[in-house]
């Protein structure tokens, strides 16, 4: 790679990182929405016989409501 090509490559990498960060933020938002709105039928979220704890999160989406 020639020295004069470095700025263009840096710009490509910077754009790629920004795009990945935007995708991560979208995924984080979607996951939060799914967890808040969990409506899984028959999801057992009450008493856990194995560890004796109450109000365990939904095994499907992680919602604790």
3-20 residue pLDDT tens? 889 999 999 999 999 999
Q: pLDDT by residue (tens digit) across 32-51?
A: 776 666 666 555 555 566 66
Q: Could you list the residue range(s) of the whole structural domain that residue 46 is in?
A: 5-56
What's the total number of domains in the chain?
A: 1
- Reading phi first (left if > 0) and then psi (alpha if -120 to 50, else beta), residue 25 is in alpha
Residue 62 domain flag: no
- Tell me the CA distances in angstroms from 17 to 4, 13, 24, 63, one per residue in order: 22, 6, 10, 30
Does 63 map to a domain?
A: no
Instruction: Give the global pTM.
Output: 0.49
Any domain includes 50: yes
Whether 39 is covered by a domain: the verdict is yes
């Amino acid at each position: 790679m020639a020295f004069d090509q470095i700025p263009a490559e840096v710009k490509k990498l910077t754009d790629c990182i920004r795009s990945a960060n935007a995708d991560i933020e979208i995924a984080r938002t979607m996951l939060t929405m799914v967890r808040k709105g969990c409506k899984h039928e028959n999801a057992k979220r009450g008493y856990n016989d194995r560890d004796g704890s109450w109000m365990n999160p939904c095994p499907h989406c992680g919602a604790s409501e």
